[in-house]
Amino acid sequence: AKVTGTRSINAASGSLLVSGTSIPACSPTLSQPHVPRRYGHTVRIILKEDLPDGRGYSGDVMTVKAGYARNYLVPKKKALYATPENFERLGVTDPEAETIEEK
């Protein structure tokens, strides 16, 4: 089988271009350097209900993974995002907003 077309290396992506199609580079010198994954994003929440197994209690301010808050806690009305408006709405003080004199 004879290959027709042109071959070139795309410097930006490190891909081998054959006849206008992009083939990922197999050589480690051509591919992008390995970038380690970042840790998952976290958010602060205020619990409106107790969580099962004693993981948290109503009124607690917790840091949880963003997906847990977005997909489970907030839709089921078990928690609210820890914003200044939500602290006022629930009548809870923000533990990180305390001044040195209050501690």
- In the predicted model, is pLDDT for residue 95 greater than 80? yes
Q: Using only C-alpha atoms, what is the Rg of the chain?
A: 25
Judged on CB neighbours under 10 Å (0-12, 13-18, 19+), 100 is exposed
**pLDDT recorded at residue 14:** 56
- In the predicted model, is pLDDT for residue 100 greater than 80? no
**pLDDT tens-digit map of 47-59:** 999 999 999 999 9
Mean pLDDT of 39-44: 88
Cα separation, 17 vs 24, whole angstroms: 9
**pLDDT tens-digit map of 12-37:** 555 555 555 555 555 555 556 666 66
Mean pLDDT of 89-103: 77
Share of the chain above pLDDT 90, in %: 46
Q: What is the reported pTM? A: 0.58
